[in-house]
Amino acid sequence: WEPPDITWQRDGHSLEDSDTDQLLVTESDDSWVAISELRIEEVQLSDMGSYRCVVRTGGQESVSQEGYIELEGLPHFSQEPADLSVVANRSFTLSCHAHGPPEPVHVIWLQDGAPLNTLTQPVALSPSTLNITGLNKTSSFSCEAHNRKGVATSASGTVTVIPAPPQRVRQDSSSNSSVGVSWDTSF
């Protein structure tokens, strides 16, 4: 009689360094019961997946039914509004990407703390890109990510408005020691 080889798999891959307790109980000369327990301390998002136990003995393999670990919590961000310098009154975009589980995650954009959209608008579905047609003052942008577990708030990105380059530069006068110049601003 040879004891069985018992392993655990997550998403079809062996968990070589898993924390397991195994107990073999002999019922008779040709029959036994194997009990294997997989222990996961402080479950994390990376532990999510399908789990099963594989028993190999006497050249045969038996596979248990799958069990699943799914975690749910507040949304977390993989992309938040970034600091940016833009020319006054020029278009730019900002991105916010938040994840569950649970999904879906919807985003409310905030400019200087004031909401720019509602949860029902298309821009709210994460990943979200906010298109701004132009600013004339420096502003702070952030996003709130909503799922059925609650709300998380991103870091803020500051969009600094810089003056546009001078337009229609003209030489008004000149002499041996000076040049008079004028231009139009668009700021």
Summarize pLDDT for 136-160 with one digit per residue, the tens. Answer: 999 999 999 999 999 999 999 999 9
Q: What is the pLDDT of residue 77?
A: 96
pLDDT at position 95: 97
- Structural tokens at position 69: 């670990």
Supply the pLDDT for residue 186. 64
What is the C-alpha separation between 48 and 24, in angstroms, rounded?
A: 28
Query: Is residue 67 within 8 Å of 53, Cβ to Cβ?
Result: no
CA distance 38 to 78: 31
Within 8 A by CB and 6+ apart from 51, the residues are 8, 9, 10, 38, 66, 67, 68, 69
Q: How many CB atoms lie within 10 A of CB 116?
A: 14
pTM score, two decimals? 0.66
Per-residue pLDDT of the chain (187 residues; tens, 9 = 90+): 677 889 999 999 999 888 888 888 888 877 778 888 999 999 888 899 999 999 988 889 999 999 999 889 899 999 999 999 999 889 999 999 999 989 999 999 999 999 999 999 999 999 999 999 999 999 999 999 999 999 999 999 999 999 878 888 888 889 999 998 888 876 5
> What's residue 187's pLDDT?
52
Give the whole-angstrom CA distance, residue 96 versus residue 146: 12
Residue 135 to residue 85: CA distance in whole angstroms:
11
